[in-house]
Amino acid sequence: MESLAASAKKLPLTNNVVLDQAAILELIDQLRVAVPPEVAQARRITEEATRITERAREEGDAVIARAQEQAARMLEDRELVQMAKQRAEEIIDTATREAADIRRGGDEYAAGVLIRLEGECIKALTSIKRGIDMLDERYRPPHPVSAESDPAEAEVESEAMGSAAGS
């Protein structure tokens, strides 16, 4: 090859040379025959290693992408769970406050009803007591008057007793 390049004709005003095409092709054929089969096998092994490396890189990228997607889903799920817990706590707090307000309102209402009922019971008891007192007055015998307190009444009383004894 060196001798071909050295004996080749130069093109004017350039560093280029004109080579004999048939002679170059003949040299390439000789090189092919002269290259040992191990070099060709090494080339095939290198190409196969490149393909394997590329496939491994693609599979690795796919695994990483899936892992990132799963991590994102898990993070999203965790955020959703956290949001759900927070919302549940808010609902429980609101329900607890509302229940306390309802209980307080119910207690106030019950106290008002009981106070009114107490007043009505007092009125009823007062009426009952008056009725009992009136009945007692109606059926109670008149108070005996002693002779010391009213001599005229003592005389009327003794006459009434004497006439009752004589009958």
Q: What is the pLDDT of residue 146?
A: 56
- pLDDT band for position 60 (cuts 50, 70, 90): very high
Residues 100-144 have pLDDT tens digits of: 999 999 999 999 999 999 999 999 999 999 999 999 888 887 766
Average pLDDT of the chain is 83
Q: In which residue are the tokens 């009958």 written?
A: 167
Task: Give the distance between the most distant pair of CA atoms in the chain.
Answer: 194
- Kindly report whether the global pTM for this prediction surpasses the value 0.75: no
Q: What is the pLDDT of residue 21?
A: 82
User: Which residue ranges make up each domain of the chain?
Assistant: 1-34
pLDDT surpassing 50 at residue 167: no
Rounded to whole angstroms, the Cα distance separating 91 from 109 reads 26
